[in-house]
Amino acid sequence: AKADGRGTYRFFETGMDARAQARRLLEMDLRAALQRDEFEAYYQPIRDVASGHVVAFEALLRWNHPQRGLIAPINFIPLAEETGLIVQLGEFVLRTACTDAATWPADIDVAVNLSPVQFRSPNLIASVTAALAASGLEAHRLELEITESVLLQNSEATLTTLHELRGMGVRISLDDFGTGYSSLSYLRSFPFDKIKIDRSFVSELATREDSMAIIRAVTGLGRSLGIVTTAEGVENDAQLELLRREGCTQAQGYLFSKPRPASDVALMLERPRLR
């Protein structure tokens, strides 16, 4: 195996090298991109299920790479989190989203995703305060989306931060609900305004009874706890109809619109469906 393994090892080593190098390049690229202003917030509408009205937009980060074109967050957010660059990136999204939302009709809110790294950063409260102040956006129009992974660590500090944010008037959503651990106990321990039901449950709505049961349970829970429920990844009318029947409050997905640049917000408000 050794004789044979030499070539294998060398190949392996080269492979590792290439990966590490690609990573370093991406990191340098990310830093430069922040300087060069290559990031952009796209927006996806969230609709009230009962009335059909747009009630908010979720800001979703895109990287306009000069060579590689438009890059989705899955391709750079993990490294941005590892390197800590997500804090700067997250501040950019916060500022941009608040500034954009301040130009929208006053009954339209904006939702911003917070990385767990950003959530734990000592700058968080200051950067939220600064983004609101600079934009003039009223705090109640800002929703911050956090995932269950935020709640797993150091719950004392987490609770303090959540209460501080809510004290400012900002609202808190629990994102990707159902994909983490022991979700139900969080609803009792932490102050949430909204639960976002993960796309995976919605996509299996028509084909899996257990997904239907989970959605029914979560919307029921939301109702009794006074928490808004939003279904993510709604792609067709059948899903929307089932969600309506279960009393889900809000829906978001390609059925209404894909995420689009800020310049398309007026269009998305005008037309119920724009794909």
When the beta carbons of 113 and 250 are compared against ligand C2E, the nearer one is 113
Q: Does 178 participate in binding ligand C2E (rule CB under 6 A)?
A: no
Which residue lies nearer to ligand C2E by CB, 2 or 275?
275
- C-beta of residue 147 within 8 angstroms of C-beta of residue 119: no
Q: Please tell me the chain's helix, strand, coil percentages from 3-state DSSP, rounded to the nearest 5.
A: 55, 20, 25
105-134: contacts with ligand C2E (CB under 6 A): 113-115
What is the β-pairing status of strands 54-65 and 69-71? Answer: antiparallel
Distance (Å) of CA 140 to CA 12, 50, 56, 147? 53, 22, 12, 20
Residue carrying the six token digits 């074109």 = 69
What does 93 bind: Ca ion, ligand C2E, none (CB cut-off 5 to 8 Å by kind)? ligand C2E
Pairing between β-strand 250-252 and β-strand 39-48 as defined by DSSP bridges: antiparallel
Instruction: Identify which range of 221-229, 236-244, 251-259, 264-272 contacts ligand C2E by CB under 6 A.
Output: 251-259
∠ CA 171-153-76, nearest 5°, is 75
Binding residue (CB under 6 A) for ligand C2E from 74, 122, 136, 188: 74
Per CB under 5 A, residues contacting Ca ion are: 113, 145, 175-176, 232
Per CB under 6 A, residues contacting ligand C2E are: 44, 59-61, 72-74, 77, 90, 93, 113-115, 175-176, 199, 232-235, 253-254, 259
